[in-house]
Every structure is written in structure tokens, then in C-alpha cells.
Amino acid sequence: MSKIIVLDRDGVINEDSDAYIKSADEWQPVPGSIEAIKALKQAGWTVAIATNQSGIKRGYYGHKALTEMHQKLQALLGGDRVDWISFAPYLAEDNSPARKPGVGMLSAIEQRFNLKLAGAPMVGDTLADIRVAKAKSMQPYLVKTGKGLRTLASKEAVLADVPVYENLQAVVEALLK
């Protein structure tokens, strides 16, 4: 079986914004992220995305715009497409188990690929990403892109043993060594 990795989207694969990424035009890859995903795919990895998308429920964009963003990602990847994209359109106060740090999206990935994610890497830029990875006994990696520096500055205890990298490309280079 191939190795699997779970990536957060905003701030890891694409540039993030506190004003939300609302369209395919606003969706711009973090430098090196497309190349990193291509390298994973070419090395035989299964690549899944788990992304909170509360902008849908907030009314900033709809499912069509989200689909267009994901189509742009897949087009940029060419033949090295992402294998699975899970998203949670909920607000934190909805207390949905799908929304990170809830494990719903990761459980869906486990069901889709008929595997357990324990031990697999997860790359994120927020405390929610780190918490959900740990809840599933995954190996979390924090990137400094997106909200990563803000997350590091929080000095939360959950970050104590989490490897920190400049960006997704640096994580992937380390994993593929």
C-alpha cells in the first residue's frame, strides 16, 4: 500500500487570508507547494486534503466557487492530482465533528482509503490542524506559511514536540529523504 499524507489547504497549499479565499482568482499557491505535491505523487504517496471552509456558511462564497478553487489546484498539478479532498463548511460554534479539530474529515479519509491514519504525516498551519492530527495519532508537521507563525507565537503546549518547517516543500523534502 502506498503511503498517505493529509494536508491542510489554506496556508499550506495556497496563500491564506484573514478575509478568506473566496474565488479561484484569489486562490494562489504558496511557492513550492504544487511542486511538493507533485513530488509526493511521483514517489507513490496518496495525498488527501482536510480543510475547514467556514466561508461557505458565512456566505462569502458557495460550493461552486470552492469547486472552482479545487479544479484550479488539480489543473496546476496536471497528472499528479490530489487523491481526495474533504471539507467542512461549518463554523466553530456549530460544534460539527467534521470541522477540525474534530476528527470527522480524517475519519472520512480513513473510510475512503480503508486504512488507519495513525502514524501518517499531517501538515498544517493552525492549532486545529495539530490537535486533529494528534487526536488520530498522526505525526503533525507545522509550516510557517499561512497562520503558522501566529500558531508558533501562541506557545501552546500541544506544539511542544511538533516539527516546524518553512513551508510544505520543506516538509516534503524531509519526508522523501
Task: Report, in angstroms and rounded to the nearest whole number, the Rg of the chain calculated over CA atoms.
Answer: 15
End-to-end CA distance of the chain: 19
User: Which residue among 8, 16, 125, 129 is the active-site one?
Assistant: 8
Q: CB–CB of 21/69 below 8 Å?
A: yes
Contacts of 121 (CB under 8 A, 6+ apart): 5, 6, 138, 139, 140, 141, 171, 175
Does residue 8 carry a catalytic annotation?
yes
Look at residue 108 and give its three-state secondary structure: helix
| Active-site option among 10, 16, 125, 129 | 10
Distance, CA of 83 to CA of 97 (rounded, Å) = 22
Q: Which residues pair with 46 in a beta bridge?
A: 4
Distance CA 36, CA 175 (A): 11
The verdict on whether 10 is a catalytic residue reads yes
Distance, CA of 134 to CA of 4 (rounded, Å): 16
Active-site positions?
Answer: 8, 10
